[in-house]
Amino acid sequence: MSNPFLSPSPLPFELPPFAEIREEHYLPAFEAGMAEQLAEVAAISGISGTGSPEPPTFENTIEALERSGAVLSRVSLAFSNKTASDTTPGLQALDAEISPRLAEHSDAINLDQALFARIDALYQQRAELRLDPESEHLLQRYHDRFVRAGARLGEAERDRLRQINAELASLGTAFEQNVFADTRAAALVLDSAEELAGLPELAVAAAAENGRALGRDGKYVLSLQSYSNQPELASLDDPAVRRRLLAASLGRGAGSNPDLIRRMVVLRAERAALLGFANHAEYVVADQTAGSTEAVETMLTGLVRPAVANARREAEALAAEAGVERIEAADWKYWSEKVRKARYDVDASVMRPYLELESVIRNGAFFAAEQVYGLSFTERTDLVGHHPDSRVFEVKDADGSPVGLFIGDWFARESKRGGAWMNEVVLQSHLLGTLPVVVNNLNIVKPPAGEPALLSWDEVTTLFHEFGHALHGLLSDVRYPLASGTQVAQDFVEYPSQVNEMWADWPLVLANYAKHHVTGEPMPAELVTRMKQAESFGEGFRTVEYLAATLLDWAWHTVPAGTDPGDVEAFETAALERYGIAMPEIPVRYRSGYFAHIFAGGWYAAGYYGYIWSEVLDADTVEWFKENGKSIRESGEIFRRELLAVGGSKDAMAAFAGFRGRGPEIEPLLVRRGLTG
């Protein structure tokens, strides 16, 4: 009975041996992995071992740290992918148990005084070390990381930090599990197909299938997406059903999560104060490309007025179309579709037959990566992913050399959390001799057996977006695992993925994949033109819904230490009012109760602004691809070399300037989002 995590996987590209991994393997592997890494760190810092420690060198300290924790890295990467994508009650229990222990483990390393003394000594001598730029940047990142984790604090403060981090880890896991349970419990159960009038036939069939799968035979069940404004709101004809659906969506987490939210906000503020910052946002942004809270606030607050004005113009058009004084939240998407149809003659359901999943993947996302970066994709049916629905593809470079593995898992299921995301299960690193293995997860409703999966335009865009993250991971070409692929500043990480969205409607690519799933006819050109025009109507809604979530995140994380934020709902209302973004007819993209980006784990806490921050770079880059006079293959090669390949191995803005020839400009974003008026 050997544990598959204890040794490197024998499979190609060190793909985790999913077929052999059992639930009972995780905990012993976590424990063995933490023990192994602590022993390695003790040896590095000279506490254990024989004789006196060697003086610190880059190799015996920084590089040795990069090599440490191999078992823990294998099990952690596989586990986080599995719990997000295909969880079980057993895995959820283990997650709750292990997350505070992992936080404690990180602190044991980050707050190790002997270890920090060595890192600091190297950092002080960095000018004399004659390191190559990649190694020098890594040393800088290590030093920053330890200082930001509290390595310079006194003993009592370090103890308090350990407590805070362990409690925050537990709270984040509990929050995520509440959202998971509430999202399932809030699925809308309908008695008759009539109540679903307006939905496409296949969606009605899928709702019936969903009912059967959930043990509600004869019922129609609409499972919820992670965000507030459910896609079915656009087509359900019955206003009462629309109201029920939106209420179910907005109510998630309202009962289970408020106490957790308040506690997390208080603890994050306390931790920021311990580390010398005014609030959590200031602590977070100091390590981001934005650099200061003022820079973030200036940008966000500058966008509010034009975005709200834009949305108000849309609201008026919707009210006129609906023949009402004022449009209500549950009716917005429905009437928005009607206006799009009237003004641009675009019907979302007319597009679906041309957007068949398999074609979008192979003739769209893969094809674009071939045209732009010279990559090719071959399905490896001999290799097994983390779930029967996940599929493994081998990726090769233009010269046939191996790039890595891509695992696609596009369908929704009860055991998967909401949303769409990318995971790395093996990190690319020349130091470790590893090539990347990356995963994309989406939540496309699985069609009844034998039926094609026909996507909405939004789903197509999401698929290209996540594939952009995958390419960032796959094309990584760095020495150190810490700098691999998507391990860049959080307000930079959405940039390459947003750039990849451009290929979804690039004429060459679109013509290659958007073909009728029965007749094979290309999507009519005028449908594409009208669809693009129609996209601009709706930017007001999209920008306000997003900015409201961003400013809500910002409000929670600018609460000063020692302040109780009070009632969650009242805080939310007051925050949106204060920033001038409150529009009752446009619910915030995520209400606090299910805002997993910022409260589950906290990766996006005070960082949700990163989407629009990154979009400035994205829009500017799209301009570059369109106007630089080079072929997309030539431009792709430059973008790959200067930006995707370098991951987190150099300063992000220097990497941007490396191919753009200057810093980013905001104008293209304002034009795209209709915010120039």
Does position 423 bind Zn ion by CB under 5 A? no
**Window of 32-40, 308-316, 490-498, 584-592 that interacts with Zn ion by CB under 5 A:** 490-498
**Containing H/E element for 336?**
helix 329-344
For Zn ion, which is the closer residue by CB, 66 or 618? Answer: 618
d(CA 277, CA 269): 9
Question: Which residue matches tokens 């068949």?
Answer: 356
* Distances in whole angstroms, Cα of residue 214 to Cα of each of 188, 232, 517, 555: 12, 19, 29, 38
For Zn ion, which is the closer residue by CB, 150 or 468? Answer: 468
- Supply 15's token pair: 């793909």
Question: Which residue matches tokens 């939240």?
Answer: 329
- Supply 322's token pair: 């609906």
In the complex, the smallest distance separating the C-beta of residue 564 from Zn ion, rounded to whole angstroms, is 33
- Supply 275's token pair: 């580390």
In the complex, the smallest distance separating the C-beta of residue 614 from Zn ion, rounded to whole angstroms, is 9
DSSP 196: G
Does position 497 bind Zn ion by CB under 5 A? yes
- Supply 479's token pair: 């020495």
For Zn ion, which is the closer residue by CB, 427 or 499? Answer: 499
In the complex, the smallest distance separating the C-beta of residue 522 from Zn ion, rounded to whole angstroms, is 29
Specify whether the CB–CB gap between 421 and 84 falls below 8 A: yes
In the complex, the smallest distance separating the C-beta of residue 365 from Zn ion, rounded to whole angstroms, is 14
Binding marks (x or -) toward Zn ion, 56..75, rule CB under 5 A? Answer: --------------------
In the complex, the smallest distance separating the C-beta of residue 471 from Zn ion, rounded to whole angstroms, is 12
- Supply 210's token pair: 């969903």
Angle at 117 between CA 116 and CA 119, to 5 degrees: 60
Main-chain phi, psi angles of 256, to 5 degrees: -95, -25
d(CA 77, CA 9): 13
Specify whether the CB–CB gap between 126 and 136 falls below 8 A: yes
For Zn ion, which is the closer residue by CB, 487 or 497? Answer: 497
Strands 402-411 and 437-444: parallel
Q: Which of 363, 381, 382, 433 is nearest to 404 (CA)?
A: 433
Does position 371 bind Zn ion by CB under 5 A? no
| Interface with Zn ion in residues 200-259 (CB under 5 A) | none
Angle at 589 between CA 587 and CA 594, to 5 degrees: 105
By CB under 5 A, how many residues form the interface with Zn ion? 2
In terms of Cβ atoms closer than 10 Å to its own Cβ (0-12, 13-18, 19+), residue 390 is buried
d(CA 510, CA 501): 12
Instruction: Output the residue with the shortest Cβ distance to Zn ion.
Output: 497
Main-chain phi, psi angles of 130, to 5 degrees: 50, 50
Angle at 378 between CA 376 and CA 379, to 5 degrees: 150
**Window of 8-16, 276-284, 496-504, 589-597 that interacts with Zn ion by CB under 5 A:** 496-504
In the complex, the smallest distance separating the C-beta of residue 613 from Zn ion, rounded to whole angstroms, is 13
* Distances in whole angstroms, Cα of residue 204 to Cα of each of 97, 209, 323, 496: 40, 9, 28, 36
For Zn ion, which is the closer residue by CB, 337 or 615? Answer: 615
For Zn ion, which is the closer residue by CB, 337 or 494? Answer: 494
**Window of 257-265, 489-497, 512-520, 667-675 that interacts with Zn ion by CB under 5 A:** 489-497
**Window of 17-25, 214-222, 226-234, 487-495 that interacts with Zn ion by CB under 5 A:** 487-495
In the complex, the smallest distance separating the C-beta of residue 280 from Zn ion, rounded to whole angstroms, is 22
**Choice among 424, 466, 501, 572 that is catalytic:** 466
d(CA 322, CA 169): 47
Specify whether the CB–CB gap between 224 and 249 falls below 8 A: yes
Tell me the one-letter amino acid at 30: F
Count of residues in the chain? 677
For Zn ion, which is the closer residue by CB, 353 or 610? Answer: 610
In the complex, the smallest distance separating the C-beta of residue 591 from Zn ion, rounded to whole angstroms, is 20
Angle at 51 between CA 49 and CA 52, to 5 degrees: 100
Q: Which of 672, 674, 673, 656 is nearest to 664 (CA)?
A: 656
**Window of 297-305, 381-389, 433-441, 488-496 that interacts with Zn ion by CB under 5 A:** 488-496
In the complex, the smallest distance separating the C-beta of residue 338 from Zn ion, rounded to whole angstroms, is 30
In the complex, the smallest distance separating the C-beta of residue 465 from Zn ion, rounded to whole angstroms, is 6
602-615 residues labelled b (16+ CB within 10 A) or e (exposed) = bebbbbbbbbbbbb
Specify whether the CB–CB gap between 314 and 541 falls below 8 A: yes
**Window of 84-92, 142-150, 491-499, 640-648 that interacts with Zn ion by CB under 5 A:** 491-499
In the complex, the smallest distance separating the C-beta of residue 271 from Zn ion, rounded to whole angstroms, is 26
**Window of 176-184, 242-250, 486-494, 541-549 that interacts with Zn ion by CB under 5 A:** 486-494
- Supply 77's token pair: 């990467």
- Tell me the sheet residues that pair with 546: none
Q: Which of 271, 296, 67, 291 is nearest to 150 (CA)?
A: 271
**Window of 247-255, 411-419, 494-502, 614-622 that interacts with Zn ion by CB under 5 A:** 494-502
Is 209 among the catalytic positions? no
Q: Which residues are catalytic?
A: 466
- Give residues in contact with Zn ion (CB under 5 A): 494, 497
